[in-house]
Every structure is written in structure tokens, then in C-alpha cells.
């Protein structure tokens, strides 16, 4: 009997770019990809945390490069990808949140959140896809979206809007780039304990609301995201594109 072979989760020989790698989900993604054998370029605005992460991963024998980069500067980001790529894997984890009641949203906050979460993510994905297409190589583009790309939330009208937009652009990019072997997906976490979310968890009323919505009864950790990122980056998800992988503890189940 010829038994089927389990696809590999290894990324040996692959080059990955992780935007937003300096902390939180982006840091976890970078660690997961590097430990799976990819050469990982760590990108974020803050140079010091990138250097610290690079040195820690290099001490484990991982191949890593640190590259300070602001995804909101789309021209600079595109130039970097054109010169340093092509990248087989992109994890678009750079994100910004400025929460407020919808009646109090300022134009400045709206523009700032969109500049990173939607505009920056869109054009970074475009730059990576262009490099892959020119090189005739397949690839995997993963954008860290959110469960808020599928539901709404208190004080999160702008944030949810950017994530809903991310879901739409992902589906369209997957349709266009599928013939080139480029897969495009989102990973949609629930509330993950990171420096970005700590102010939310510090509010007892808001924390009770969150834990009441998560069916598994707990908030998420960065480790909860690392396996799903590796799945979407690797051949284990070779037929997965144009979709959202919800890592939400059952939040969106009802």
C-alpha cells in the first residue's frame, strides 16, 4: 500500500520577511519561521528591539537579518523589497490601534490606523508579489488580521474597518496571484496578550467582556499564533488561499 506523505512544516531554503517583528505577534511569527529553517528578515520601525531579537535567534543558530522599516512609507518599503527580495514568505504583522467611541474618532487617528493596517499592508504585499512573479517563484503572503475583521467591537470602529478591508483585499489578491502559485491568506487572532493590548486588559470591565466572548475561556498568547503562522507559511497549507484562519477561541462561533 502506498501511504500518503504528510506535508512538511519545514521552511529550509525559504526566505521570509516579517513586518512588525519587534514585538508581540510579529516577534512570535519571526521566531516560528526562523526555527523552522527559514532565513528571516526582521522588519519594524524600532531598531533596538530588532537587534535584540536578531541576536537571540542567531544564538540559536537561526539565519536572521534585521532591517528597520516603516510599512507606512510605501515607497521605502517597496524599494527595500525590490533590493532585498524576492521573499518566499511575507508575514504582514505591523499594526496600529487607536481605540475610541465612533463618535469621538478623529481624522488623524483614522488616517494613522489606515496608513499601517490597510495601506501599508496592501502595498507591502504588492511589493512581495511583484518580486515573486518576476522571479517565477511561488510564495505565501500572510497578513495578521483580527477576529475584528469578521465582527464588530466596542470602541473599535476604525480598527475593525481596517481589518474588514484586509479580508477583502486578501481574497482579491488570492484570485489574481493564484495562477502564479502565490497564496494569500489572513490569520485572525482574538485578543492576544501583547504590549499593544495590555491597556485593554487593564480595564476589569472590558476584560470580563472579552473572557465572556471567548468560548475557551481564556485570552490568547503569542504562542497560540506561532503554529498557525507556520502552517500558512509552509507546504502543509499548499491548497489554502484566499481565506481567513480564525484563531479566536470560538469568539466568532455565534
Q: What are the residue numbers of the active site?
A: 159
Three-class SS state of 88: coil
Reading the block at residue 66, the C-alpha cell is 534585521
**Cα–Cα distance for residue pair 36/170, rounded to 1 Å:** 25
Of 45, 48, 49, whose CA–CA distance to 31 is shortest?
49
- What DSSP character marks residue 101? -
Contact assessment for residue 88 and residue 139, using Cβ atoms and an 8 Å cutoff: yes
- What DSSP character marks residue 26? H
**Cα–Cα distance for residue pair 186/228, rounded to 1 Å:** 10
Amino acid at each position: 500500500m502506498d501511504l500518503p506523505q504528510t506535508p512538511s512544516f519545514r521552511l529550509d531554503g525559504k526566505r521570509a520577511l516579517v513586518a512588525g517583528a519587534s514585538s508581540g505577534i510579529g516577534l512570535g511569527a519571526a521566531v516560528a519561521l526562523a526555527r523552522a529553517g527559514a532565513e528571516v528578515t526582521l522588519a519594524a520601525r524600532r531598531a533596538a528591539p530588532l537587534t535584540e531579537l536578531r541576536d537571540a535567534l542567531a544564538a540559536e543558530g537561526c539565519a536572521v537579518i534585521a532591517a528597520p522599516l516603516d510599512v507606512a512609507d510605501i515607497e521605502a518599503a517597496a524599494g527595500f523589497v525590490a533590493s532585498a527580495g524576492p521573499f518566499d514568505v511575507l508575514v504582514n504583522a505591523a499594526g496600529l490601534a487607536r481605540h475610541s467611541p465612533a463618535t469621538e474618532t478623529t481624522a488623524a487617528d483614522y488616517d494613522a490606523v489606515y496608513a499601517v493596517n490597510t495601506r501599508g499592508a496592501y502595498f507591502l504585499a504588492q511589493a512581495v508579489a511583484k518580486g515573486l512573479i518576476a522571479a517565477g517563484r511561488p510564495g505565501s503572503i500572510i497578513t495578521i488580521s483580527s477576529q475584528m475583521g469578521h465582527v464588530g467591537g466596542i470602541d473599535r470602529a476604525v480598527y475593525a474597518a481596517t481589518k474588514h478591508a484586509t479580508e477583502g483585499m486578501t481574497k482579491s489578491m488570492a484570485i489574481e496571484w493564484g495562477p502564479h502559485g502565490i497564496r494569500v491568506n489572513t490569520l485572525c487572532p482574538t485578543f492576544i496578550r501583547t504590549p499593544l493590548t495590555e491597556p485593554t486588559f487593564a480595564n476589569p470591565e472590558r476584560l470580563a467582556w472579552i473572557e465572556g466572548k471567548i468560548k475557551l475561556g481564556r485570552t490568547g498568547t503569542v504562542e497560540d499564533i506561532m503554529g498557525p503562522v507556520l502552517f500558512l507559511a509552509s507546504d502543509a497549507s499548499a491548497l489554502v488561499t484566499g481565506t481567513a484562519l480564525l484563531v479566536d477561541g470560538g469568539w466568532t462561533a455565534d
